Amino acid sequence: MTDSEMNRPSEASSHAGRTDPTRDAAPRLHRRAMLGGAGLGLAGLLAANRPQFQATARQAATPVASPFASPIASPVASPVSVPAGAPEATTGLRIIRDQRPTYADEPVAGGELRLPVRSTELLAFNPAAFRQDGQVPVSYLDPLVRVDEVTLEPQPWLAERWEWRDSGRELVLTLRPDVTWHDGTLLSPEDVCFSFFVYRDDFDSAVTGFFAVMRTCAPEGQRTVRVLLDDPDGAFLFNAATMPIFQRAQYRDHWDVQPTGERSLNRFDWASNPPVGTGPWRVVEMRERALHFTRHDDYWAGPAHAENLRLIAQDDPTARLAAWRAGELDVLWPIRSRDVPALADETGFIFTADAPVAMFAAFNFINPARAAPDMLVFPELRQALNLAIDRAAYAQADFGGFVAETRTGTVAQPWAHDDSMANPRRDVAEAKRVLDALGWVDVTGDGLRDTPWGEPLSLVCIVQDDTRPELLALLDRLNADLGDIGAALEVQRLDAATFADRWINGHDFDLIAYALTLYPGFAEYDLYGSAWDIRTNPRGWNPGGYVNATVDEAIAAYLAAVEQEDMAVALATLQRAVNDDLFALWFGFPQDLILVRPDIRGFIPNKMHQTADTRLLWRTPVS
């Protein structure tokens, strides 16, 4: 796993490359301007703070699903000596598939938890830049709103309730009365508004796009926050409101002395003024290779069970696994499916958790390298290619079964995903029949069908070389699948700069593959919408020039909605449209694997950051 695969929220919104989690975010234009094809997509960061084998580019600006999306689970949520998901293995390693495990035994207070983190910029505490490993901010900071750990629906957290007003142009949030900072002072509406302004205006903010429509934020009284928006934005609650809140008193003087347009928290002196939060853990020691936290005993949701939390810098996956085996690390995420067989004799738990990731290869409908650049506009051709894919084979061979390979589209958020659709079973005979009906036959006798323009049916797929390893593996096997219907596929693995140049400037490919990390609220309208075609909108995405009127209408309806039900209806329309007029070859939604020591209890997976809820963990003797 590369460094770029291990973190979630922050990724550049520059189009030259969106796989590096530490790149700066480009300024955003008002998103409604984009509907005319002239603006910049709200999509923009790759999930940088998500320790997962992520890494394909989030091509367009799409800020990140907050790493603070965490369950509202009670701090005493009880999972068992063995989580109720029950062991599937006959050895000491037990696989738990329950997405909401429960525990029968009582939590035990005390002790220390140890988790690995990336070493890169471990002491870069600017909350808006998301340069640290995501485990750091999620340990000491809290958001106004957390999303449910399974469904990704918004749930109250620092804000106990909210209300939309003025047809979705005003969001009023009411803070809990009992939340204190680690220094004992009360959380205030001024803290919230200061945080929101920093997210919007910090020149290094990775999530500026989430706040692009925020006109202002106004504190009212002791507990009320009014957020005024230029336009309705239902996703604000899912994406912007799930960003962590930080203390105005700590940063205000540093922020105010900087010139407007050049302000950033990057240069703050954390060595002399350790970061303060409202979260379950307090920062007590900061070193280049480790961070030490102690329990915040006055945490409003109930104190953590363990007394201490230690985050240890370790970038090498092999070394991480060795440390877990040696009992030096308690929880390890991510691990690869290919590592599971080698762990069979270990004692512990592997939790399988649905990941907010969608894998696909989008079609390019305007390839200048072809005799007929728009060859892929033929829906029959796209459907034949789709029918040729042996998804059951790659699901086992490349994912060890830890993938929902039948899922379609990129809307992997459970609150919005349309479960009625599924990828087709492999049907070589039907794929051949479709191509025969088109009149695309092998004229030259080389085993490949020929197009009406005299070219062999040989396709080129580009992919960034540091993307999820399983995606690279399944792409490699597609040439054999397509060979069975008289087609071929050349997969070109490209470095970030070359990949960016090809999709932004060259456009000389037939397919472009991604493992796309998502946010709680849908933010990929710039992937599908015709107004975001990269050929006509230099700050867009839509790498293949996809055009579908129903999709554009669904995007407009989604952007105008603020109620979750209305947003889901619009997204259901979009999902059906991009599946009927096939936008991509869909490869499904992978699962995350989390390795937990046998004496650790209380683990509950969290889609947006699987190890977010360390406060729920406790250590118990293992017989």
pLDDT surpassing 90 at residue 61: no
Q: Would you state the pLDDT for residue 623? A: 58
177-195: pLDDT as tens digits: 999 999 999 999 999 999 9
Domain that includes residue 418, residue range: 357-591
Task: Please check whether residues 392 and 533 belong to one and the same domain.
Answer: yes
325 domain-assigned: yes
> DSSP secondary-structure letter at 591?
E
> How far apart, in whole angstroms, are the C-alpha atoms of residue 152 and residue 608?
8
Average pLDDT over residues 350-362: 97
Task: Please check whether residues 343 and 430 belong to one and the same domain.
Answer: no
90 domain-assigned: no
Task: Please check whether residues 470 and 567 belong to one and the same domain.
Answer: yes
Give me the half-sphere count of Cα atoms (radius 13 Å) on the Cβ side of residue 307. Answer: 4
Higher pLDDT, 416 or 55: 416
Average pLDDT over residues 4-16: 31
* Single-letter code of the amino acid located at 53: F
Residue 254 in 3-state DSSP? helix
- CB neighbour class for 501 (10 Å; exposed up to 12, middle 13-18, buried from 19): middle
First to last CA, the chain: 34
Average pLDDT over residues 20-27: 27
482-493: pLDDT as tens digits: 999 999 999 999
pLDDT surpassing 90 at residue 471: yes
398 domain-assigned: yes
Task: Please check whether residues 324 and 378 belong to one and the same domain.
Answer: no
Q: Would you state the pLDDT for residue 305? A: 98
236 CB-near residues (< 8 Å, 6+ apart):
171, 210, 213, 214, 227, 229, 521
Give me the half-sphere count of Cα atoms (radius 13 Å) on the Cβ side of residue 495. Answer: 2
Position of tokens 């490993």?
A: 133
pLDDT surpassing 50 at residue 53: no
* Angle, helix 549-560 to helix 564-580, in steps of 10 degrees: 170
> DSSP secondary-structure letter at 456?
B
Average pLDDT over residues 22-44: 30
Q: Which residues pair with 186 in a beta bridge?
A: 180
pLDDT surpassing 90 at residue 420: yes
248 domain-assigned: no
Give me the half-sphere count of Cα atoms (radius 13 Å) on the Cβ side of residue 79. Answer: 27
- Measured CA to CA in angstroms, residue 516 lies from 55, 129, 361 at distances of 8, 20, 11
Task: Please check whether residues 334 and 372 belong to one and the same domain.
Answer: no
129 domain-assigned: no
pLDDT surpassing 50 at residue 34: no
Average pLDDT over residues 334-350: 92
State the pTM of this model. Answer: 0.87
Q: Would you state the pLDDT for residue 621? A: 80
Q: Would you state the pLDDT for residue 70? A: 34
Check if the beta carbon of residue 188 is closer than 8 Å to that of residue 172: no
pLDDT surpassing 90 at residue 59: no
Average pLDDT over residues 405-429: 97
Q: Two tokens at 177?
A: 């009365």
Higher pLDDT, 6 or 451: 451
| E strand residue ranges, 434-505 | 458-464, 488-494
Q: Would you state the pLDDT for residue 128? A: 98
CA 65 to chain centre: 5
Task: Please check whether residues 465 and 485 belong to one and the same domain.
Answer: yes
Average pLDDT over residues 551-564: 97
442-460: pLDDT as tens digits: 999 999 999 999 999 999 9
Average pLDDT over residues 517-527: 96
262-300: pLDDT as tens digits: 999 999 999 999 999 999 999 999 999 999 999 999 999
Task: Please check whether residues 330 and 380 belong to one and the same domain.
Answer: no
412 domain-assigned: yes
User: Cβ–Cβ contacts within 10 Å for residue 583, how many?
Assistant: 25
Q: Of 26-30, 253-257, 494-498, 602-606, where does mean pLDDT reach its minimum?
A: 26-30
Phi–psi pair at 585, nearest 5 degrees: -85, 115
Task: Please check whether residues 579 and 607 belong to one and the same domain.
Answer: no
- Measured CA to CA in angstroms, residue 100 lies from 39, 76, 502 at distances of 41, 14, 42
Task: Please check whether residues 373 and 411 belong to one and the same domain.
Answer: yes
Q: Would you state the pLDDT for residue 369? A: 97
Task: Please check whether residues 609 and 551 belong to one and the same domain.
Answer: no
| E strand residue ranges, 338-409 | 348-354, 357-363, 403-404
565 domain-assigned: yes
Output the domain CATH number for residue 290.
Answer: 3.40.190.10
Number of domains into which the chain is organized:
2
Output the domain CATH number for residue 561.
Answer: 3.10.105.10
Average pLDDT over residues 539-566: 97
Phi–psi pair at 617, nearest 5 degrees: -85, 145
Q: Would you state the pLDDT for residue 101? A: 96
435 domain-assigned: yes
Position of tokens 């993307």?
A: 467
φ/ψ bin of 565: left (φ > 0), alpha (ψ from -120 to 50), beta (otherwise): alpha
> DSSP secondary-structure letter at 354?
E
Task: Please check whether residues 334 and 483 belong to one and the same domain.
Answer: no
> How far apart, in whole angstroms, are the C-alpha atoms of residue 330 and residue 163?
40
User: Cβ–Cβ contacts within 10 Å for residue 556, how many?
Assistant: 15
* Sheet with 308-313, side-by-side order of all strands: 112-117, 308-313, 290-295, 281-287
Average pLDDT over residues 361-389: 97
Task: Please check whether residues 580 and 436 belong to one and the same domain.
Answer: yes
pLDDT surpassing 50 at residue 130: yes
pLDDT surpassing 60 at residue 72: no
Check if the beta carbon of residue 526 is closer than 8 Å to that of residue 34: yes
> How far apart, in whole angstroms, are the C-alpha atoms of residue 511 and residue 19?
18
> How far apart, in whole angstroms, are the C-alpha atoms of residue 511 and residue 399?
22
